[in-house]
Amino acid sequence: MTVRAVTGSGIRCAYHHSQCIEPWLMNVPGLVIVAPATPYEAKGLLTASIRNNNPVVFLEHKLLYNMKGDVPEEHYEIELFKSHIEKEGTDITIVATMAMVALAKKAVKKLESLGISAEIINPRTLFPLDKETIKVSVAKTGRLVILQEGPKVMGAGAEMGAMIAEELFEYLKAPVKRVTSLDVPVAFAPVLEDYINPSEEHLIKACQSAMNF
């Protein structure tokens, strides 16, 4: 069974329609949590989810519905439980989920102008997480910044950061950084919603902090 569910903010719908529900679901053993970041991924991952024999919750970020991108008409699947390296880099690893992938790609251009080469990893499946791709990247760069929409406390980024601290501590050149929403309800006012959520500026500052540690 595959259940499609919406998540995330950014469309000015106040708290009751703006929550990031993935941490709730990740705490239920046995559920597969899929989280596409583009229209192309949405079709390919949904097809793979339906064909999978596990119960799957397919999370669709609200901003994804207004995103445009190339989607082949023919049938295709994208492998579950496998992260995608959106961009290769050497200085720092950025793990970004769903709508945050696009934000990370924008920030990387500015980071390059600052002399920082960032690698972007899109997990695609939040649980079970493809740990190996993240670990290989962090072993190469020695630095990890996790970009996640939603509160910092008990978020998906907390699990990723803990995993690296437990299994790859000796490779870290700086503490793991998390760039997240504030631990408050999402406001209805656009200026407050933007203030609460992670931004390109927040990500750039976190990367600079990790590089200068």
The H-assigned helical ranges of the chain are: 22-26, 39-51, 100-113, 131-141, 156-167, 190-196, 200-211
- Chain-centroid distance, C-alpha 83: 10
Say whether 17 is catalytic: yes
Spatial strand order of the sheet with 118-122 comes to: 84-87, 118-122, 92-96, 144-151, 177-181
CA 35 to CA 98: how far, in whole Å? 6
Rg (CA), the chain: 16
Please tell me the distance from the alpha carbon of residue 46 to that of residue 60, in angstroms, as a whole number.
Answer: 10
Catalytic residue among 17, 61, 84, 202: 17
Task: Give catalytic residue positions.
Answer: 17
